[in-house]
Amino acid sequence: MTSNRSARPGQPRVVPVAEDSPLITERFADRPGSVLNVSRTIANNSGVFEPWSALARYLALDGILPSREREIVILRVGWRARSIYEFGQHTKFGRRAGLTEAEIAALAGEIRGGPWSEGEMALLQMVDELVDDDCVSDGTWERLSRRWSPSELVELVLLTGFYRMVSSSLNTFGVELEEGVPGWPGAI
């Protein structure tokens, strides 16, 4: 991590809407009481909320990527953005997708020498290149193309971009972790 990063807000800059607000109760009627702070914060803008929720749901739950690979990408994006909320929430999802504690911890550091397969290493290089340069290099693209179809490649790049946007929003809005959600693996 570079030291020239902005400090993250110590409290919410945008207060999450109440769980009993009309927008939240309508959208989450099937899951009352389980609405995350990120959704309740974005719900402050009703025009953005529905399309954002639809894309978030597709990418996080209904997409074509295997859950393990999806969570590797999201966790790495959360780490690179220094978004403790994103990293914490997706630590839980990553565990469900089969990532070990050691693998989750390895996503929060230098990727070389980690416990990654060749395909997973290409995913991590993709994330780092998109974060650093907003473009995947030819070499990394070639490695990705050996494993993933054009449809999956589109989803991988959009997944990375979406979670970069979400991470920067979480950081800027000061969205707080829910009770019981892990933070960083060890000290950063």
Q: Which residue has the higher pLDDT, 141 or 26?
A: 141
pLDDT at 1: 44
Above 90 in pLDDT, residue 2?
Answer: no
pLDDT at 5: 79
The amino acid sitting at 126 is: M
Which residue segments constitute the domains of the chain, with CATH numbers given? 22-61 (no CATH), 66-173 (1.20.1290.10)
Above 70 in pLDDT, residue 33?
Answer: no
pLDDT-based confidence at residue 187 (cuts at 50, 70, 90): very low
pLDDT at 156: 98
pLDDT digits (tens, 9 = 90+) for 65-113: 999 999 999 999 999 999 999 999 999 999 999 999 999 999 999 999 8
Q: What does the chain look like in DSSP terms, one character per residue?
A: --TTSPPPPSS-SSPPPPTTSHHHHHHTTTSTT---HHHHHHTTSHHHHHHHHHHHHIIIIISSS-HHHHHHHHHHHHHHTT-HHHHHHHHHHHHHTT--HHHHHHTTS--TTSS--HHHHHHHHHHHHHHHHSS--HHHHHHHHHHS-HHHHHHHHHHHHHHHHHHHHHHHHTPPPPTT----SS--
- Lowest mean pLDDT segment, chosen from 30-39, 60-69, 82-91: 30-39
